[in-house]
Chains A and B, each alone.
Chain A
Amino acid sequence: MRRVGIVSFAQLTSPRERRRNEVELVIPVVQEAVRASGIPKAEIGFTCSGSCDYLAGGPFSFVAGLDAVGAWPPIPESHVEADAAWALYEAWLVIRSGEADSALVYGFGKPSLGDVDEILGLQADPYTVAPLWPSATDLAAMAASAAIAAGVVDERQMAEAAAAARRAGLANPHAVVGEDVTAEELLARPVTRPPLRDADVAPVTDGSAAVVLAAEDLARRVCDRPVWITGIAHRIDTPSPGARDLTDVASARSAAAAAGVGDAPVDVAELSARHSHEVVLLRRALGVGSGTVVNPSGGALVADPVMSTGLIRIGEAAAAVRAGDAGRAVAHAASGPALQQNLVCVLEAD
């Protein structure tokens, strides 16, 4: 089957957007990604988006999002109620299968409108868990405590991951957090959500992202250095956090194996770790060692525009390959409580 390349990427983040609505966050990234792709918008063969209506508390926000795309005459279009990395997966399948030669993928969300931590916690089992109202951070913090107790993660590793993210955030114009800080300094700060400190948790971030994909021939025509998706897979664990091993990320491990992460060295990995212990767990699950630069963008710990965070990991990893900073990169997206669902993508240039 033919290869699929990433030919353009755009992102937008805002710590607490009060002027633009969700659709108005999508307009600039779609405009930019389509322009930079070199493919006329009318010729893009498929459109797929990722968003979550509960972020804004209104129905059919994904339909409103199409106002930012332009859907007349009618276009082939789809949507996932998930991070747009899963929309990219669907678009990749559509191009691989020959249904389209190109695709626009975008994600958007405004978590700042409500209590995103509470909303994402409602992804838990509605019978026995959600009525207790654990937040997404509560569930992640519990996973961190299990990992620490098992000796697979320690607080210093978490602080080092958080400090590295915050330092990287200073150089990333899309980061909403940036700080010249050491692990020692973070360890001296209070534990707020045991065992997590504030810096161990992703900041509330509004935003959007868009990627244009093209089949091999078209990608070569429009792009001087397309970045090929050479492996992509996603896996899911049981929704019951008490029925899986929270000291490992089995579904990320399985997705990484299916995507072929271990077939060759990885130069750069962009991981959707919303909590610092997840950086450590995901490194191990994906099998990326000390030779891999992890989250040069700072990752989700410095900008977490929910529903775009995973797509941005793919975009950032592709940008690193395209710029020649990495020969082979891995991007990871996550969904569900405590890394329940994981998508892994391998990116390479010629």
Chain B
Amino acid sequence: MTATSEGPAPEAPLVEHHVLEYPGGYTRSLGPALSAFFTGLRDGRLVGARTADGRVVVPPAEHDPRTAAPLGEWVEVGPAGTVTAWTWVANPKPGKHHLSGPFGFALVRPDGADTALVGVVDAGVPEVMSVGMRVAPRWARVRTGTIHDLEAWVPLADGAAPAPAPPNEAPEVGEEPVTRIVCPIRLEYEINAGIAPSRYLRGLAQRRIIGQRARDSDHVYVPPRGSDPMTGAPTEIEVEVGQTGTVTTFCITNIAGLSELAPPIPYVTAQVLLDGAATPWFGLVTGCDPTEVRMGMRVRAVWSEQAAPDARTLVGFEPTGEPDAPYEHWKDYA
């Protein structure tokens, strides 16, 4: 049971900004309980569900969290409530947190409910916050049936009555129940390629294709991953493979718009077994009519003008015009 060691000596890591986002956001259907909840928010009311033993759960659930019995009696709670837990966000994130200034996160138990909601408290300064503080909703003027319709909880003075929701200024809001919400999610990353892929990408910048040889066999893996995918053993011996290879299998795409990076249809993607490599690699086949591409076809690398450590520096492959490789050469990959 010991520590494991560091890898080989470093070059500067290759890092790229990466955004994970579903354009337009996920659309989620709500089901009966959350439909009642979000319809209530749109109409300026807080809705929970009553359980058989008389507890009120908010947000409402479709089933009793304790007994799993189906629930269907929706009841109005609040709108005032009590903070049961809180923290403070000193630096809100634009595009994520909907309040622009510092705010509190809190669990708020609306009057008449037995559970609490996660909410934001627009309290100005954290000194105002406490467990037990009384709060009331500040409703959005434009309410469309999302959690943001309850714009924020605000401190409620002793004995004061919560302000009613203002008339909904959203255009085209009807009486129909809210049945779906759209949830935008965006995450950002700084991805680093790793040691072995960085060597491969740096090779591309020099128009070289670099793989790694297995420790226990003569297999050369392209692109290299730092280990032998058959045994898991580390791979450290670098090998430059040929720039010609054999199509082992391919696909002709006739559907437009599958990827922002895709060329005009029809186009061909293929697995290409480079000469000297043990694993085929994926690339476009250009320079011939798609119908001419076939298993066993001999191809050579096509390079872009850029000399960058970027997978797109290797544009793809084009026919060499040589006779096809014999079936024996590529049958294990077909």
Contacts and interface: CB of A to CB of B under 8 A. Distances in A.
Interface of A: 8-12, 17-24, 27-32, 36, 41, 54, 56-58, 64, 66-72, 113-115, 118-119, 122, 124-134, 138-139, 141-146, 149, 173-174, 192-196, 238, 240-243, 246, 315, 318-319, 322
Contacts of A69: 232
Contacts of B189: 56-57, 113-114
Nearest to A323: B1
Contact of B93 (A133, A139, A143, A193): A133
B196 A31 contact: no
Nearest to B106: A142
A315 B1 contact: yes
B65 interface: yes
A276 B300 CA distance: 59
A238 B61 CA distance: 11
A70 B28 contact: no
Nearest to B20: A57
A40 B225 CA distance: 23
Interface string B68-102: 00000000000000001111111001001110000
Contacts, number: 214
A126 B131 contact: no
A146 B107 contact: yes
A268 to B, nearest CB: 14
Interface string B27-67: 01010001001100000000000000000011101000100
A307 to B, nearest CB: 16
B109 interface: yes
A254 B243 CA distance: 61
Contact of A127 (B107, B181, B188): B181
B7 A124 contact: no
Given A194-B86, A196-B87, 13 more contacts: A20-B7, A24-B195, A30-B232, A69-B232, A119-B187, A126-B26, A130-B185, A133-B93, A138-B105, A142-B85, A144-B87, A242-B107, A319-B1
B117 A174 contact: no
A19 B192 contact: yes
A193 B87 contact: yes
Given A126-B183, A133-B96, A174-B3, A243 B231 contact: no
Contacts of B26: 126
A67 B232 contact: yes
Contact of A10 (B2, B59, B96): B2
Contacts of A67: 225-227, 229, 232
B131 A145 contact: yes
Q: Which of A9, A22, A29, A193 has the most CB of B within 10 A?
A: A193
Contacts of B181: 127
B18 A71 contact: no
A113 B232 contact: no
Given A19-B7, A31-B233, A149-B132, A68 B1 contact: no
Interface stretch (B118-126, B246-254, B256-264, B302-310): B118-126
B13 A130 contact: no
A188 B7 CA distance: 40
A146 B2 contact: no
A27 B65 contact: no
A57 B90 CA distance: 27
A318 B1 CA distance: 9
A-B pairs, top 4 by smallest CB distance, nearest first, are A21-B194, A242-B116, A70-B232, A141-B87
Given A41-B232, A138-B89, A243-B65, A70 B109 contact: no
30 contacts: A8-B1, A18-B192, A19-B7, A21-B195, A23-B227, A28-B234, A56-B191, A70-B229, A70-B232, A72-B229, A72-B230, A113-B192, A119-B187, A126-B28, A127-B181, A127-B183, A128-B59, A128-B118, A132-B98, A138-B105, A145-B86, A145-B87, A146-B131, A194-B129, A196-B87, A240-B115, A242-B109, A242-B115, A243-B57, A322-B1
